[in-house]
Structure 1
């Protein structure tokens, strides 16, 4: 209210005085900060170029050592091409870590996620199989059977004995194929040798060579036959083990029943002796 009663001349003087007031930031300090920031960025850029150049030099030296033949004299030497290659790779890794630290990025290798599994009509079984694939350990046939039995009893899936055997065979083969593809992909991508740099799964030599394609197809059929024989052998062994364990449990039950009958007879005899006394 008081500000509205002031005359225009006073308001004009107050406004001009507030606008003409000197700022707290001096232009000299801001220019120094900008100059220091530019110099820091320039030093970082030069450092990055040096590290990248060093990586290129080390990469060429590593390739040269990998392609060199190892002579008999070098085998007895303490500084052979293999040892040189190992030292160069260690330097390469150290330089790479320094470069990643300077760029504020992670130097870890990104491993691709395992593919999902939907090979059975039961989602509960598929989830357990997918969890099994994350362990990166090849399971036994017995592990697959036990997995199916646990899922069947826990979720009341009502899977019969015959269907359980068929599912176990299918899951066992599917898991083997998935882990084989995954390990082959990891081997190609992260092998650490420049000899696989030009490898591409898109270009298959068998597409251009009919004889090679025929040989690979025959080998695939032979491998499937052998795999089927191995799976059947493990399935038969598992069925025999289950039958043996079932018989042992029945024998144990019968033995325990006989022991209980003997104990009852002894107690009856004691009671009879007591009555005649």
Structure 2
């Protein structure tokens, strides 16, 4: 989980308050909002769907498909659900489009820095520890197959973490599910990432600001917005703050002036992944890639 909850949901275009259902998924919360008088589907149906996806994509659940792949030391093809193959290929597409700024094979480095399932750190990792974790990482050593669905790794100790795209992917697929039920006007949210069908207003919160303090209000129409930020999860060593977003090129936390990046896109999954990748790239390189890809982005930089 990326702790990138910069979005304060406001209201739909109706003057009345929307009806809402929700629950818990992927270590965070989810919600569905509809206009007053609109039909809400059974929350149990939506929760069961999200629970099934979490059982595939979670790196916290020891029996998830991701965890089973991570626990395997085989370099042969390992059968996995088709959903995991789809998520991995989505992440690799974003990586290829951003100079490999997004890398889902960084699980060893995430754990090394204390941002994964293991205990938090109070000391800076040594250069030898960083080099060792980098040596068992690298997206180019992860391969996918569709028929039958499977993953294969070239490095026995390779482990993956798909949290940078999992919430957005779930939003897109949950929206498709709701569409199949005849719903075409709603607002979905998972962990601060938002998908709108129809027209809905959302507020973008200033990084680290008190709840309710928004920098600007946006009208989303059949769009999604996802945010990645550095201010919620970090650790301090010797008075130095280290963010939880890691640069695959260095194996260390990013250290530039960007505090958060919000990407608006038709696909919640792409908005989710690109937000992380652009944050890794930083204010200059990130803006260059965003322009090249034609992305609509909101940037917040920390004061020096």
Decide: shared fold, TM above 0.5.
no
Query: What range describes the TM-score normalised by the shorter chain of this pair?
Result: under 0.3
Q: TM-score, normalised by structure 1?
A: 0.20
Higher strand share: 2
User: Whose relative contact order is higher, 1 or 2, with alpha carbons under 8 Å and at least 6 apart?
Assistant: 2
Question: TM-score normalized by structure 2?
Answer: 0.18
Higher helix share: 1
